[in-house]
Amino acid sequence: MAKKLNIKDKYRLLTRDLDWEFSYQDRSKAFPYEAFEGIKITDWSKWEDPFRLTMDAYWKYQAEKEKKLYAIFDAFQQNNGHLNVSDPRYVNALKLFLTGVSPLEYQAYQGFAHVGRQFGGVGARVACQMQSLDELRHVQTQIHAISHYNKYFDGLQEYSHMHDRVWYLSVPKSFFNDARAAGPFEYMIAIGFSFEYVLTNLLFVPFMSGAAHNGDMATVTFGFSAQSDEARHMTLGLEVIKFLLEQHEDNVPIVQKWIDKWFWRGTRLLTIVAMMMDYMLPNKVMSWQEAWEVYFEEAGGALFKDLARYGITMPKYADIIEKEKEHISHQAWWTFYTHGHAAGFHTWIPTDEELDWLSEKYPNTFDKYYRPRWELAKKLEAKGERFYTSGLPMLCQTCQIPMLFTEMDNPGEISYRDHVHDGERYHFCSDGCHDIFVDEPEKYVQSWLPVHQIFQGNCGGPDVENILSDYYRMNLGADNLDMKGSPDEKRWKQWKGVA
């Protein structure tokens, strides 16, 4: 009788021994990128497989999930599911998602394929390959979930073209380009650990919860379907960091530096989520500050306590980040509101109920610093003078966000840092972004900064309007400007039979 194998042994026998010691070629030529980052791997065989899923089981489970998911998509389309969303303003969160986030899933597909080829250990490679396949799933199912909205709402139709060009979309794009341009180990700390393990609850979950709270059956069903994939990705992220820290003590300071960098990069990127949660969701899930406290301060705090035994400390700038949670969503939405003519989605003044909600959720900051701006905006709008700024914003050389953040101890003053490198002066939104640049200036001088590119004449022109319509391919008057009076709003009223 054949003996019974437990899952761990079976997986090891099926997968882990596929590799071999080379005799005919220099093995380091087959895996050439493992050494240059300074990470020391003494023994790949110590890698603990974070999930032991063989391909046959993967195909089976994932096919079941796809069958159910696409049945919902079909029903959603057949029954005009878009009519069930809470408010047409909600769809603008989807526009931000499809133009800003789905292309990151695509980059994750490419990034994990790359490291899934390059790591010298077969266990790590296979786990990354599976994540690559999952990430392809996510971008494709997101496109299919949102495809129906594209047929009835503006601003989604050029998501791919816009992702490569539009000013604010260079923020998420450059974030992921940065990780992919790094070596394979930094990529895993950036994406596998910092992003997937710690920050995913602040990106993926808010969008999907927003869909749930706002009647978006297609997107929330995708969210539920992707949950078990995400759980796998999180275990991979945690295994990566433990593995690197246990392999060699010299890895600890390198990993710490990457953690510091990628938490800062990550929190900057999450500014768009903060704004989405506080301003773009007609039915709120929770405030950004609440989400930050639950998912970062509590969950992340516990994690870093756990990692302390390896000598890892809380990410640098955690003290600044703690203060920012009460400010950034307001600063960001105000910036989009005032640049609403150049955005690929609609902006608006929060309703009075929403302003009251913000006052309640942000007792220390909203009434003091931000509510007065909206009261002013309301007055101007009532007079028929909806405000749009005419200038182009200066961008941070590192995170590429316009200089919209203030000093946290003085919210009336814009935070502004600079640094001279090779005779050129570079500008930053924060100490975090400044320090990241100074550590790797050769990388960040390459940033494709949309505003610089416009001024250099690389985006067409001569007017902003030409750039928006020709280079960005925005459908002016439909994709941009205020929600009020937009074709989206007019159609919605028609469908709903209201004047």
Partner 1 sequence: MSIEIKTATLEPVRNTFAHIERRFGDKPATRYQEATYDVASATNFHYRPLWQPDKLLQDASRTQLVMADWYAFRDPRQFYYGTYVQARAKMQEVAESNYAFFEKRNLARLLSDEQNAALIRFLVPLRHVEHTANLNNMYGTGLGMGTALTQAMLYDGMDRLGIAQYLSRIGLILDGNSGEALAQAKQHWMDDAVWQGMRALCEELMVTEDWFELLLAQDIVVDTLVYELVYKQWDAQLADNGAQDVAMLTEFMQDWWKDNQRWGDSVLKTAAAESADNTALMEQWISNWRGKAAEALAPLASEMLGEQALESAMAVLDKRLNKAGLFK
Task: Pick out residues in 312-341 that bind partner 1 (CB under 8 A).
Answer: none
List binders of partner 1 among 259-278 (CB under 8 A).
none
* Interface map 14-43 toward partner 1 (x if CB under 8 A): xx-xxxxxxxxxx--xx-xx--x-------
Q: In 3-state terms, the chain is what percent helix, strand and coil (to 5)?
A: 65, 5, 30
Pick the closer one to partner 1 by CB: 136 or 414: 136
Provide, rounded to whole angstroms, the least separation between the CB of residue 173 and partner 1.
7
Pick the closer one to partner 1 by CB: 232 or 330: 232
Site membership for partner 1, residue 4 (CB under 8 A):
yes
Cβ burial of 227 (10 Å; 0-12, 13-18, 19+) is middle
Report the Cα 48 to chain-centroid distance in Å. 28
Q: Contact, 31 vs 20, CB < 8 A? A: no
Provide, rounded to whole angstroms, the least separation between the CB of residue 30 and partner 1.
4
What's the full length of the chain, in residues? Answer: 499
Closest CA to 100 of 181, 201, 203: 203
Q: How far apart are CA 204 and CA 101, in angstroms?
A: 9
List binders of partner 1 among 443-482 (CB under 8 A).
443-444, 446-448, 453, 473
DSSP 197-210: IIIGGGTHHHHHHH
Phi, psi of 92 (to 5 degrees): -65, -25
User: Which single residue is written with the structure tokens 């590119």?
Assistant: 453
Q: How far apart are CA 176 and CA 450, in angstroms?
A: 16
Sorted by sequence, the CB contacts under 8 Å of residue 470 that are 6+ apart come out as 460
List binders of partner 1 among 431-450 (CB under 8 A).
443-444, 446-448
Provide, rounded to whole angstroms, the least separation between the CB of residue 94 and partner 1.
14
Q: How far apart are CA 124 and CA 36, in angstroms?
A: 18
* Interface map 379-408 toward partner 1 (x if CB under 8 A): ------------------------------
Site membership for partner 1, residue 229 (CB under 8 A):
no
Q: How far apart are CA 52 and CA 37, in angstroms?
A: 29
Judged by CB under 8 A, the residue of 13, 71, 380, 476 near partner 1 is 13
Provide, rounded to whole angstroms, the least separation between the CB of residue 404 and partner 1.
20
Pick the closer one to partner 1 by CB: 118 or 430: 118
Residue type, 61: Y
Q: Which residues, in sequence order, are bridge partners of residue 347?
A: 482
Provide, rounded to whole angstroms, the least separation between the CB of residue 481 and partner 1.
17
List binders of partner 1 among 40-99 (CB under 8 A).
54-56, 58-60, 62-64, 66-67, 69-70, 78-80, 83
Pick the closer one to partner 1 by CB: 98 or 403: 98
Mapping DSSP to helix (H, G, I), strand (E, B) and coil, where does residue 347 land?
Answer: strand
Sorted by sequence, the CB contacts under 8 Å of residue 457 that are 6+ apart come out as none
Provide, rounded to whole angstroms, the least separation between the CB of residue 61 and partner 1.
9
Pick the closer one to partner 1 by CB: 19 or 290: 19
Using CA atoms, how far residue 490 sits from 152, 242, 313, in Å, is 12, 54, 53
Judged by CB under 8 A, the residue of 50, 81, 100, 103 near partner 1 is 103
Closest CA to 117 of 221, 32, 202: 32
Site membership for partner 1, residue 107 (CB under 8 A):
yes
Q: How many residues bind partner 1 (CB under 8 A)?
A: 101
Pick the closer one to partner 1 by CB: 98 or 199: 98
Could you list the beta-strand ranges (E) of 142-300: none
List binders of partner 1 among 159-188 (CB under 8 A).
159-161, 163-165, 170, 173-174, 177-178, 180-184
* Interface map 120-159 toward partner 1 (x if CB under 8 A): --x--xx--xx-xx--xx-xxx-xx--x--xxxxx-xxxx
Residue type, 224: F
Provide, rounded to whole angstroms, the least separation between the CB of residue 206 and partner 1.
24
Provide, rounded to whole angstroms, the least separation between the CB of residue 336 and partner 1.
21
Provide, rounded to whole angstroms, the least separation between the CB of residue 382 and partner 1.
30
Pick the closer one to partner 1 by CB: 54 or 247: 54
